Chains A and B, each alone.
Chain A
Amino acid sequence: MTTRKVRLGLGTLAVITASTVALLGAPATAVDRGGAADPELSRAAYAQIEGTGSTWSELIVQQWIADVDSNGMKVVYTGGGSSKGRKDFAQNSTDFAISEIPYQGVDEQGNADTSNGREYAYLPIVAGGTAFTYQLKIGDQLVRNLRLSGETITKIFTNQITNWNDPAIAADNNGRAFPSLPITPVVRSDGSGTTAQFTTWMDKEYPSLWRAFYGKAGLTSYYPREGRAVGQAGSDQVMNTIAGFAGNGTIGYVEYSYPVNKDYPVVKVLNKGGYFVEPTDYNVAVALTKAKINQDKSSPLYLTQILDEVYRHPDPRAYPISSYSYMVIPTGATDQRMTTAKRQTLADFMYYSLCAGQTKAGPYGYSPLPLNLVKAGFEQIAKLKTADPAVDLTDRDVTQCNNPTFDGKNLANNLLAETAPQPAACDKAGEGPCGTETGTNTPSTDDGSATPEVTVETPGAPTPGTDPGTGVPAPPDGGAPAVDPDTGEVVVAAGTTTGEQAPDFAAPTELASGRPVDTSTFGWVAALLLVALVLLPGVMVSSFRRRAKASPR
C-alpha cells in the first residue's frame, strides 16, 4: 500500500511545486478573487445541484460532495442506479445524472431511453475496474489469489462452467486444482451500470458465448439470471451475499471499491499482455489510456466511451474490464432547470472532481482519470459556458489540474505510465500463481526498488540513491532480490523461478494429508502407539515373569 501512496504523493508534490511556482509568477489569480471590494461579489455564486444515478461510482462521489461543501457548493446525490439516473434527467427532475452507459434509445423493456429532448453532454468523472469478488474455501481457508481468464469468467456467468474443479479454472491457475464445489454466480437484480459494463465487455470479447446465453447481441442493464445464479439488488447486497457464511462457492461482479472496503478477495483477470492482474488504480488507469470518446456526431452513442482497445490493451499492467462512469450534464442554453449559479456549481464541482478529487480515487478503490479523459471532460465543461456566457471558467483547465496521473505543467509527461508498477513475474500466464492476497488495494509487483518502504525493509537493496518516483524495475536477478511489498518475502524474478516452482505444481493433489483434523487425530494416535510401543514390551516381560513364577505352583 505504501508503495503506491508515497509515489503518488511525490508525483503530487511535483505538481504542487510547479503550481506554487506558477502562482508566484501570476499572483493575480487567487488574490484578486479574495481581495475584491465586495467579498460577496467576488465569490462564485453557487446554487445547489441535485442528481441521481450510478451506485458504481457513488462511494467516491459522496466524498467529493463532502469535500466541496467547504467551497460553498451544495450537491445532493442519491444513487438509485444508472437507469434511474438517466430517466430522472430526461424527466427534468434533476440537474445531472451519473451513469455508466449512455442513453440506449430503447431499453430492454422496449421503453424509450432517451433524454426526452433535453440537451446534454457526457462527461467522464471517475474510472474503476469491475471486479469479480468471490468466496472459495479450501478447508477453512479463504482462497485469496484466484486467477481467471476472460473466457472462463464469461463461461461462469453464462452457466457453462458450473464447478470450481473445472479444468479451465485449474488451467488459469497454472494447474492448481480447486475442490469440487458448485459455482453460484451472484448478479445484480436491479437496473445496473455495473451489469451494463460487464455485459458490454462479454459482448465485445466473447460474443459467441454471451450472445448464445442472452439470446441477442449487445449489453443489458438487467442481468438475465438463470440456473444457479442469484440476483441481488445493489452492490452492497452482492457483497453481503458473497461474504456471508453461506457464500462459499459464490462469485459476483462489483466495483473494486466494494471488496476493498470489505477487505475481500477479487479475481486476477488475464489481460492481453499475458498477465493476471487485479483492478488496482494503476492497472485500471493504464488500461484506460486506450479509452476513446466517440466523436461521430451521427452516432447515437456520440460522446460515449469506446472501450474495445481497453479490453485488448497489450500492456502487462492493464486491467481489461476497466471503464469509467460519467456525468450527464445539461448543455441547453434554455434548459428549464439551469441558472447561471447552477451551471457554475456544476462546472466547479466537476473541476474539483476531475483534478484534486482524483487524488483520492486510489484509496477508495477507484482509479484516477488519465489525461485523455480529463481533457475530454474539460471540453464538455466548456459547453456550460457556451450555453451561458456568465459562467466563469477562468483558470479551470488541464494545466491547473491537481490530478495525480499527469503533470499539469508538462502534459506530454504521463506520470501514470511511469509510476504504474509492472506485474509480478508469478502473475504471468503459465507461471505462479503468486501468493499475494487480492482485495487489499495493493499492487502485486516485483518492482521492489520503486518502493521506499521496501528499500527500508531490505537494507541490501541497491536503490538508496534511486529516485523512488521513477519506478525503476528491480534487476531481474541481481544480488538484491526484489521484495514483494505484500508479503515482505523476496520474489525471485522471472526466469529464475520456474525451475523451483515446477515440483510444487507437479503434484497439486497431495490432499487428504492436509486436513487439520487428521493432523491432530493422527498425532494422538501416534502418541498412543508410541506409549504402547515403549510400555507394552516391559509389561509383557514382567507379566511373563509373573506367570513364570506362578507356573511352578
Chain B
Amino acid sequence: MLAALVAAFAPASASPSATDDRVIDNVTGRASSSFTATKALTRVFENADGTTYEFPTNTVTVSASETENLRGRQRITISWTGAQPSGGRASNPYGEKGLQQEYPVVILQCRGRDDASLPPEKQVRPETCWTASVAQRSQIARSEAEATWTHDRLATPADKERVSGMVPFPTKETCPTADQDPFFTRLTPFVASSGKTFKTYEACDSTRMAPEAAVDAAFPPAEIAAFTDSDGAGSVEYEVRSDVENESLGCNHKVECSIVVIPINGLSCDKPAEPATIADSACRKGGRFAPGSSNFSNEGVDQAVSPALWWSASNWANRFSIPVTFGLPPDTCDILDPRPPTGFYGSELLAQASLQWSPAYCLDKKRFKFQHNQMSDEAGWNLMESGGGAAAIVSSKHQRRGDDPVGYAPTAVTGFSIGYVIDRPDNAGEFTDLRLNARLIAKLMTQSYLGSDLGRGHPGIGDNPLGIMNDPEFIALNPGLSQISQEAGAALLSLSNSSDVIEQLTDYIAHDNAAMDFVNGKPDRWGMKVNPSYKKIKLPRTEWPLLDDFIPETENECRQNNPAVYFTQLAAPVTALRKIAEALLDGWPNVQTRCEVDLGTGGYKLGRVDRQSFGARFMLGVVSLGDVERYGLRSASLETSSGDYVAPSDESLAAAVALAKQEKDDEPFVLDQGEVRKSGKAYPGTMIVYTAAKLASLPAEDAAKVAQFIRVATTEGQRTGTGNGELPAGFLPIKKSGVTAKLYDEAQRVAAAVEKQAPTPTAAPSSDTPPPDGGGGTTVTSVPSSAPSADLPSVAPTATASAAPTESPATEPVAMPETQAVSSDLGGRLLPGLLVLGLLGVALASAVRFFVQPPPGPRP
C-alpha cells in the first residue's frame, strides 16, 4: 500500500525469432505487438496528521510493436491506455521543447535492464537514460517553489537535500552554477558507455554533456513527452538509436537496453511542515491546464505534474521498462575498396531498397560495387542512353533518343502515396484513415483552393473554399476534422521537376470523369470551380507546371514590397520526394507565404511558414512508399471505383500488378488506370520500378554488371527484411510464382538480353560502339529540340533557311528564336480581319450586283 503500486507485468509475447511466425505485410510493414504490460498508478499525499490521501488509480497498459533485433533509427510503435489525460500540449513534444506540458507520457531510451538480478552497471537507472539537453535531466539553482522533488514521498533523505544527485557533488570549477545557496539543485548525470569503461557527464551545463547531446541539433532528439488524449490513450512512433547513432548511450547487439515509458501521474508528496511550506504546496499542485488543452505559447506548468522530473523517485517508480535488443550490425563496405562504384541513375522510388542492397554488392568480391544515384527518371534515362550511366532506374516507358534498343527489367514493385499528417481537433490524436478521390487531388494540384483571404481576389474562383478542410466534398469523405483554414490545406506538396510519379498521379486523375469534368471547367456540385490558369490542362503529364500568375492586391506593406504569385508560394514544389517526406515528418509545410521584416537589410522578405504545432497539424504531400515505411508516415486511401477506397498494402499492390500488361518484350508493363478503377481492389499508386539498360552497344563489362544486378535484385533482393541485400518495407516482393511471376520472368529475360548484347556491325575504336545505322550525315541522338527555329521555317532568318533545304551539314551557329515584337492577338488579327472584311464586301457587292436579279420593272 505504501507505494500503492501493483506491478502486473504481463509476459512479453514476442516469439524468439521475430519474423518467422508472424505475418508481416511488407508494404505497410505492420507486425503484431510483442510487448504489453499493465500497472496501476496512484498519486498519494501524506497529510500533516499522518494519514494519506489517494487519488483515483490509473491502470495503465503500455504496448510496443517490436522489441527484438532492432536496428538503429528503426521506429517502433508505443501505445498506451488508461493514463491520466494530458494538458497544455506543446507545439513540439520532443526533447527539451516538450517540457512545458502536464501529465504527458515520457518515453526514453536507456542502457540496461530492469532486472534486480543483474550487476548494477547492467541495470537501468536515470543515469543511463538518454536526453539531448540539460534541462531534461537536471534542475539547476531553483527557488524553493520549483524544488518539489525535495518533497517526493519516495525520495531518500539524501535526495531531499538542497543539492543532490551526485556524491561527491561537483566542485565550483566543474559546475560553476550548480551550488548557489539558497537555491536548490538536482543533477541527473549521464553515464556514457564506451565498451568496458564508463564516463560520467555531470549534466550541470551544456559543456558537461555527452558528445551527442545538443539543443537544436541537425539530428532531432527521439525522447518525447507524449500526449495522452482525454480517453487516456495515446501512441507514438518511437525512433530507437543504436551505438552508431549514439555512441555514448551505446546500445548494440551485446549491450542490452530498454525503452522506459513513464506516464507522469503527479508526484506523491511527503508529510508537509506546519504550516505548509511553499514547496509543500507546490508538490501538491495538480496542473493548471485542462485535459486536451494546448500550450503553444510555452507558458510555465506545474512542476509536480510536468515531465521535467521524470527521474524523481515517485515518477521513476511508475516506469514501464520495455526490454529491447539490437540486431547484429550489418557488415559494411570498406572505404578503401579500390573498385570504383558503378552508378545506376534514376528514380527515387527505389532509394530505400538501394540503401539496403548496396552492401550486398560491395561485400561480395564476385559482384561489382553498386551505387544508385537518385535523380529524375528522365535525367537518369538520358545518362543511360548517352553512356554516362550503366543503367537507368525508371518506372515508365521513356522516349528513346538513340538507336540502341533498351530493355526494361522489372526490379521492384512499390509506388507513391499521398502522405499526410493531420491532427484531430481538441488534441484527440492523429487522424489515421484519410480518404481522397481524384477530384480532390485535382483541386489541390490545379491550385483551386484559395489558401487565405489573399486568394479571394483571384479572378473567376473567388468563392472557392480556402482549403481542402473547408471543402464540403472533403468534409463528407473525412468527417470530424477541424475546419479551421490553413494555407497548407490549399497545397499538395509535390515535385517541381519531371517524374514518372507525377505522370502516374496525373494519369489517375485523367481516368476519373468527375475529376476531368472539374479540370475542364465544370464546377463541382458545391459550386467550386477550377483555377482558370489550369482549366483544360492536358493530362497525364510528367511535369506539373506552375501556371498561375495572380498577385494579390493588399494593404500589407510587406507584400506590396514583395509582389509574388500567391498560389505558387502556396504550392512551392520541391526537387526530391525525400524532402516531402521530411516536411511531413516535421509537420512543416513548404508554404512560402511568410512575409516579415528582414533585420539584415531593413526591408521585407518572404520565407517558409512556421512548423505546425502538434495538435494542429494538417499537411499533404506526394511521397514514395519506401519513405512512408522508413519514416513511419501515413498514406491516404485513394478512391478507385465509386465508393471503394484503396490503401497501399501487399494485397492492393499485387492486385495492381495483376492488371499490368506488357505489349511486347523488353518494354515496361503498363498499368491502365481505367482497369484499376474497375477492379476496386488495386492501389492506383502502384509502380513497377525497372532497371533500363541498352541491349546493344553497352560495353561488355557494364553489360555483365547490369545483368548481375537484375538477377540478384529479383532473387535475393526480394527477400523481405532489414538486413544487407534484403527488401525493406514499402515494397511488394517479386516472386517466381503468383502475380509477380511475369515480372520475374521478364527480368530474367532482359538480364540475358543485356548480358548478350545485340551484335553490332562495326567494331569501333572507342568504347562506344556505333549504332547499326551509321549512314546519315546528321543523326541526331540526344537532343530532340535541336533546331528551335525549325518550327517556324517561313519566318526564320537566312541562316536557318540555308540550313533547311539540305540534309548535309550547313553553317548554323544561330538557332536563337527570332526577335520579334511582343505578340498581340488584336494586332495579329486586325489587319487580316479588315482585309477579309473588305474582300467579303467586294464579294457581297458583286453578288448583289450580279446575282440578285433586279426585280423586273420598267427600264428607264
Contact = CB atoms under 8 A, between A and B. Distances in A.
Contacts of B243: 47
A233 B375 contact: no
Contacts of B779: 456-457, 488
Nearest to A441: B379
A12 interface: yes
B217 interface: yes
Contacts of A426: 813-814
A16 interface: yes
A245 B533 contact: yes
Contact of A176 (B592, B816, B829): B816
Contacts of A239: 496
A224 to B, nearest CB: 5
B343 A435 contact: no
A539 B845 CA distance: 13
B607 to A, nearest CB: 4
B497 A262 contact: yes
B1 interface: no
Interface string A513-535: 11111110110110011001000
Interface stretch (A120-128, A137-145, A154-162, A292-300): A137-145
A455 B766 contact: yes
Contacts of A489: 778, 786-787, 803, 809-810, 812
A434 B818 CA distance: 13
Contacts of B376: 261
A409 to B, nearest CB: 12
A518 B828 contact: yes
Nearest to A235: B575
Given A70-B332, A481-B809, A517 B823 contact: yes
A225 B247 contact: no
Q: Chain B at the A interface: mostly helix, strand, loop or mixed?
A: loop
A497 B813 CA distance: 8
Contacts of B578: 62
B777 interface: yes
A201 B331 CA distance: 47
B809 A76 contact: no
A208 interface: no
Contacts of A241: 564-565, 568
A46 B214 CA distance: 19
Interface stretch (B80-88, B154-162, B382-390, B407-415): B382-390
B815 A435 contact: yes
A29 B339 CA distance: 13
Interface stretch (B310-318, B625-633, B744-752, B767-775): B767-775
B219 A50 contact: yes
Interface string B799-825: 100110000011111111111111101
B214 A94 contact: yes
B373 A70 contact: no
Given A63-B373, A78-B218, A190-B607, A434 B839 contact: no
A16 B340 contact: yes
Given A66-B355, A528-B836, A72 B565 contact: no
Given A139-B823, A245-B545, A2 B850 contact: no
Given A240-B568, A262-B497, A464-B764, A363 B781 contact: no
B117 interface: no
A510 B797 contact: yes
B293 interface: no
Nearest to B813: A426
A516 B821 CA distance: 12
B778 to A, nearest CB: 5
A459 B774 contact: yes
A190 B605 contact: yes
A402 interface: yes
A511 B615 CA distance: 60
B767 A452 contact: yes
Given A261-B497, A540-B850, A88 B216 contact: yes
Contacts of B5: none
A348 interface: yes
A352 B332 CA distance: 14
B795 A246 contact: no
B218 A5 contact: no
B206 A488 contact: no
Interface in A164-204: 173, 176-181, 189-191
User: 10 shortest A-B CB distances, which residue pairs?
Assistant: A435-B815, A490-B809, A72-B332, A5-B388, A543-B850, A246-B549, A517-B828, A222-B600, A426-B813, A452-B766
12 contacts: A48-B212, A48-B219, A73-B335, A141-B817, A222-B598, A231-B606, A261-B375, A339-B247, A360-B373, A396-B336, A539-B846, A540-B850
Interface of B: 72, 194, 206-207, 209, 211-212, 214-219, 243-247, 329-341, 343, 345, 351, 354-355, 358-359, 362, 371-376, 378-379, 382-383, 386-389, 496-498, 533, 545-549, 551, 562-565, 568-569, 571-576, 578, 592, 598-601, 603, 605-608, 764-768, 770-771, 774-775, 777-783, 785-789, 791-792, 794-795, 797-799, 802-803, 809-823, 825, 828-829, 832-833, 835-836, 839, 842-843, 846, 849-851
Given A70-B355, A145-B815, 6 more contacts: A2-B387, A459-B775, A487-B786, A489-B778, A503-B798, A504-B798
